[in-house]
Amino acid sequence: MKHNLTACSMLMAAMITFSFNTLLAQEMSKNTCTALHVNPHPPIIDGALNDEVWQKDNWCSGFTQHEPHNGAEPSQQTEFMITYDNDYLYAAFRLHDTEPDKIVARVTRRDDIEGDYVAIGIDSYFDKRTAFIFCVSASGTKMDMVMTENGDREDPNWDPIWWAKTTRNPNGWTAEMKIPLNQLRFSAADVQTWGIQVGRHLYRNQETDFWQHVPKDAPGFVHLFGELHGLKGLTPKRQVEIAPYVVTKTESFKPEEGNPFMTGRRNGLNAGVDAKIGLTNNFTLDLTVNPDFGQVEADPAQVNLTAFETYFEEKRPFFIEGSNLLNFPLMFGDGDLATNNLFYSRRIGRAPQHYPDLGDNEYARVPSNSTILGAAKLTGRSSSGLSVGLLQSVTGNAWANIDSAGNRSHEMVEPLTNYTVVSAKQEYNEGNTIVSGMVTSTNRALSGIMADEYHRNAFSGGVDLMHLWANKKYLVEAKLYGSHVNGSKDAILLTQTNSSHYFQRPDIKHVKIDSSRTSLTGTGGVLQFGKVGEGHIRYMAAVAWRSPQLEINDIGYVQNVDDIFQVIWVGLRYWEPTKVYRSLNVNINQWTGWNFGGESTYKGGNINLNLQLPNYWYVGGGINWNGENLSVSELRGGPALKLPGGWNYWLNLNSDGRKKLIVGVSNSAYIGNNNSSVSHNYSLSLTYKPLKSLLLRVSPSYSFSKSELSYVDNISTESDTRYIRGHLNRNTWVMSLRVEYSINPELSVQYYGRPYFTSGKYSQFKYITQPRAKKYTDRFLTYTDSQISYDADNEVYLVDENTDGTTDYSFDNRNFNYLNLQSNLIVRWEYRPGSTVYFVWTHGKENFESVYSNSIGNDIDNLWDSHPHNIFLVKFSYRFN
C-alpha cells in the first residue's frame, strides 16, 4: 500500500496484502446484514437520521479493530443500516464517540478526504473481486472509487453521482448516503446477495475499524467482505449521462518582432461533450468529442540530458477513469519498472513529432498537441467473471502554419491516426486463476515526408496467466507479449537506430542493422513466483525479458529493450505495535541483467526499511549497491561502454501527520567508484493546516551532481567517430508551493507554483578510446590544453587533435542555465452532482542561456524579469443524468 493514496483508499484497500489463516475460518466468520425495502417514504438525506425508517431495529454492529491492534475491540462503537427502493440504495451510520470534541472534521475537496470518516464497500457483482467504494468524512466531503482484482487495483477517478450528508451531535456524528442503483452493477436475479464492508477511521489515534474482520496477513480484500441480504425485486439500471461543456480562453505572452504568430495575445472559444451510456447494467460506453483538458495541472519542467524520453503520468480524466481495465505492464514492481506498458495513454493527443524545416525570415506556428477528434471507451464486467476494456480514438491531421514574408502555407506535422486498445480478463476457480490479454493497434494515414518518419501500422499484444493457491498464499504468473511495426524503409531504419535499439552499434553481434527492412517484430515476457500472503515473510523470484526488436512506443512505453532481467525479493512485515514501533517493513533485493548476446550488463542489490514510530513519525531509508555495468546506450549508437559501479543511500523522516504542522526531510546520495560520479539531493517539506479548511505546503529541494563521462557530442571524422565526453557539474533548485482552501466540499480553491532552476558546466573534455578496457582510466583520453581551445564568439570548442595547427573538428558549448516557473490557480465549484464550473489562471515564465550560473539570487532576478505567459479560462459543464 502506498502512502500517497487518498485516506479513504487507505482505509478500504490497505489490507490488499493480507489473507486468512484458513478458508474454513473465513467462511465461519462471515457477518451478515439485512437491507429493508422503504417504499413509499424514502429517507431525506440530511445526516440527521430522523426519518421513520432509521427508527427501526435493524442496525448492524460488531466492528473489530484493524489498525493499530488487529482483532482487538474498537475504542468507539459504530452502527450502520441499509435500506433501498426501486432506484436507490440508502445507508445510515451512527458513529459514537465518547470524546466528540476530538472528532477531526477537515473540509477538503472531493476525493481528497482527511479527518474522521466512514466508508462502505459494495460488491454488487458478488464476484468477490470487485467493489464500489463510497466514503464520507465528518465534514461532509465525499470520496469514491472502484476496487478491482480483489483489491489489488483501485480507480479513484471513478466519479459517480451520489449524495451524502453528515451531522455532529453530543454522542459523536452521523452520516447518510443515497446511492443511485444505476451507478452499481448487479444481476437481474429476483433475490440477491451482495458483498459488503463498512470501515471507520478515527483520525486522532489513526485507528481503523472494520465491520467484517480482516486479518493483517491476508492477500486480497474484497473476498473478505461480509454479506448483505434482503435485496428483492431489484431491476438492473442502465446509466445514461451526457455532459456538454463550453470553454472560453484568453492568452497573453511575449510578442516576437517580425513573427506574425507571436503578437502577444490570443483568444479562443471551444466546446465539446462527454457521455456515459450504459449499454447494459454491466457494460458502460464512455464517449468524448473534442475533449478539453484545460484545467489539468501542467507536467513538471525539467532538463533531460539522456537519450530517452521522459515519462509523464496521465492526468486527463477521460483516460484515467477505468484505466485499470486498459493496463498491461511489461514488468513487475513499482517505480520506473511500472512505467513499461503496452498502453501509454499519453501517446493519444501527443505533441507533433515533426517540425518544419524553416528558411530565413520564415516563422511557424506548430500546435502543442494533436487534436483528439473523438474517443470511445467500453468497459464492464459480466456475471461470469469476464472483464472487458475497449478504447477507440482518432486524432486528426496536425498542421503547422508557416509564414514567409506574408505568404502563408501549411505543412503537416502529425498525421491522422487511429488508436485501438482491446483488453479482456477472465477469472476462474473463484478468482484464483486469471487469464488476461491485450491487443493494440496504431494506424496512420501517411504521405510525403510523414511516410519516412512514422510507422504506417503498429501492433502489439500480450497474454497473462496468473494462479493463486493455498488460500491465495502463493502466486505464479507467466506473461508473453509481442510487437510488430511496418512502414517505409526509412521509417524502419529510424526505428533500428533510435535510442531504444541502437542496432548500428559497431560491437553488436546478436542483431544487425538492415536498411532494406520494412517491418520489425519483437517479443518479451515475464515469469514470476512468490509468497504474497499469510505470515510475516513475503518473497518473490522473477525473470523478465524484452527482445532487441521489440517496439511498442507508438501506443505503449518502454525506454530500452535487448534486456533479460532477473530479481529476487524478500520482505518482512511486522504490523502489531510494540514499544519501539507501530509498524515495520524490511525489504531485501538482488538483481542481475544481460543482453540477448549473453553479456552481463548490470547487477546490484539493496536493503531498505520503513517504520512508523510510537509517536506516529515515519522513518525510512536504504542502501544500494550497483556493480560495474555495460551500457549499450551511453555512447548513443557507439559501442557498449563499461561504467563503474557505486553505492547510493537514501534517508527520510516525516513527523506526525495528524498535527497542524508536518515536517518531512530527506537526503539521498550516489557515489560512483573511481571518482566517476557523485550526486546528492536534499529536500524539505513543510505542511501547515492552520484552519480545518486550509492547507499550506512548501517543498524546497536542492541537488548537485558531478559526472566524469557526461555526453557532449558524437562527431564523425574521416577515419573514426569521436565519442566526446566531459566532466559535468550540475546544480538544481526546486521550490514547490501548494495552497488548498475548501470553502465547502463543493467549492474549493487550489494553487500550485513551482520555480525550477538548473545549471550545468562542462569541463575536462575527453574522448572514448577503449570502451571495454579493464582499467577505468584506460577507457578514455583527456584533451590537453594544446589540443583544445574555445572560440567565445561562436561558442564552440575547437579541437586540433594531432596538434598540427589545423582544427580537426569542433563541438558546441553545452553549458546551460534553465529557469522555469509554473503557476496554476484553480477555482472549482460542483454546483450540482457531476456538474462543475472551473476558473483557471495559468502563469508561466521561462529563460534559457548557454552559460553556467552558481548564483541562485541572480537566477531568481532573471526569472522574475522574464516576460510572463498567462492563460485565463472558464469552463462550464452540465451533467444530464
pLDDT per position as a tens digit, 342-391: 999 999 999 999 999 998 889 999 998 899 999 999 988 887 888 899 99
CB under 8 A, 24+ apart: contacts of 232-236: 232/37, 232/190, 232/191, 232/192, 233/37, 233/86, 233/190, 234/84, 234/86, 234/181, 234/186, 234/192, 235/86, 235/188, 236/181, 236/185, 236/186, 236/187, 236/188, 236/280, 236/281, 236/282
Summarize the confidence of residues 869-880 as an average pLDDT. 93
**What are the C-alpha distances in Å from 581 to residues 2, 558, 619, 620, 650?**
19, 40, 10, 12, 20
Summarize the confidence of residues 89-107 as an average pLDDT. 97
Please, is 797 exposed, middle or buried when counting C-beta atoms within 10 Å of its C-beta (0-12, 13-18, 19+)?
A: buried
Percentage of the chain beyond pLDDT 70 is: 96
Q: What is the mean pLDDT of the chain?
A: 92
Confidence of residue 297 (pLDDT cuts 50, 70, 90): low
In this predicted structure, the answer to whether residue 5 has a pLDDT above a threshold of 50 is no
Tens-digit pLDDT profile for residues 766-800: 999 999 999 999 999 999 999 999 999 999 999 99
The pLDDT value given to residue 8: 44
The pLDDT value given to residue 148: 85
The pLDDT value given to residue 23: 38
Beta bridge partners of 830: none
The pLDDT value given to residue 705: 97
In this predicted structure, the answer to whether residue 15 has a pLDDT above a threshold of 50 is no
In this predicted structure, the answer to whether residue 22 has a pLDDT above a threshold of 70 is no
- For residue 859, give the C-alpha cell: 537566477
Summarize the confidence of residues 591-604 as an average pLDDT. 96
Tens-digit pLDDT profile for residues 853-868: 989 999 999 999 999 9
In this predicted structure, the answer to whether residue 10 has a pLDDT above a threshold of 60 is no
Residue 557 DSSP label: B
**Residue spans of alpha helices (H) in 188-251:** none
**What are the C-alpha distances in Å from 174 to residues 44, 95, 206, 356?**
14, 6, 19, 63
Confidence of residue 224 (pLDDT cuts 50, 70, 90): very high
In this predicted structure, the answer to whether residue 288 has a pLDDT above a threshold of 60 is yes
The pLDDT value given to residue 18: 35
Q: Which of 390, 393, 360, 392 is nearest to 378 (CA)?
A: 390
The pLDDT value given to residue 281: 79
Tens-digit pLDDT profile for residues 465-497: 999 999 889 999 999 999 999 999 999 999 999
Tens-digit pLDDT profile for residues 678-692: 999 999 999 999 999
The full set of domains in the chain, from first to last, is 7-232 (2.60.40.1190)
Q: Which of 191, 69, 66, 71 is nearest to 119 (CA)?
A: 66
In this predicted structure, the answer to whether residue 25 has a pLDDT above a threshold of 70 is no
Please, is 429 exposed, middle or buried when counting C-beta atoms within 10 Å of its C-beta (0-12, 13-18, 19+)?
A: exposed
Cα(571)–Cα(566) distance, integer angstroms: 17
In this structure, of 137-141, 283-287, 309-313, 837-841, the range with the lowest mean pLDDT score is 309-313
